[in-house]
Amino acid sequence: MTTPSPDDTRTMHERMLAGDLYIADDPEIAEAADVSHDLMGAYNATTPRQEPLRRELLERLLGSIGEETVIRPPFYVDYGTNIRIGARCFANFGLTALDVADITIGDDVQIGPHVQLLTPTHPVEPGLRRDKWESAQPITIGDNVWLGGGAVVCPGVTIGENTVVGAGAVVTRDLPPDVVAVGSPARVVRELTD
């Protein structure tokens, strides 16, 4: 990874969304994060009796959210606007979805407590890290996936439909559809059949 050339006229926010190196404390990016953190804080302060308010806050916070999808607070995001989640999904307490890049979640996905979806990544080169450069890669979760409690999905990963990821697994590479994967790093242990 190298820093952008002087000829690159894109804003840091444009660089971030393109998956290129950017500096996270850029004022435009910081303002977007502040707006989403206000919404996230309001959402996390709600109670189950405030379901209509919860839905309204999620619709304002997220890029899109499908019908009948439930996310139990607390719920943590970087921006929220880069998250698209399908219909009839359920996320238990403590979902962390760091959406520096797009996070796309299909329909009927089940997410256990304290799952982490992590799109940001940092350069290996010490100088770039010291100068606060970072980047991100998108995450895609297919329809009908189950992510067990405490699972971690790393930057750039795609998980195929119907796949089950065991509790505590660390998914560092793409997983195909219709499998069970466990461990750190996650590995396929069996195929699923109806």
- The DSSP output letter for 18 is T
Q: What's the whole-number mean pLDDT along residues 41-52?
A: 96
Q: Which candidate in 13, 37, 114, 122 is catalytic? A: 122
The pLDDT tens digits of the residues spanning 70-107 come to 999 999 999 999 999 999 999 999 999 999 999 999 99
Positions of E strands within 18-92: 22-23, 64-65, 70-71, 75-77, 83-85, 90-91
Please report the sign of the dihedral spanned by the C-alpha atoms of residue 189, residue 190, residue 191, residue 194: negative
Position 3, amino acid: T
Average pLDDT, the chain: 95
Q: What is the pLDDT of residue 143?
A: 98
pLDDT at 6 over 80: no
- What global pTM score does this model have? 0.94
141: Cβ–Cβ under 8 A, 6 or more apart, which residues?
103, 104, 105, 106, 109, 117, 147, 153, 159
| Whether residue 114 lies in the annotated active site | no
Q: What's the whole-number mean pLDDT along residues 158-181?
A: 98
The pLDDT tens digits of the residues spanning 183-194 come to 999 999 999 987
* Domain residue extents for the chain: 12-191
Q: Domain 12-191 sits in which CATH superfamily?
A: Hexapeptide repeat proteins (2.160.10.10)
Please report the sign of the dihedral spanned by the C-alpha atoms of residue 38, residue 105, residue 95, residue 23: negative
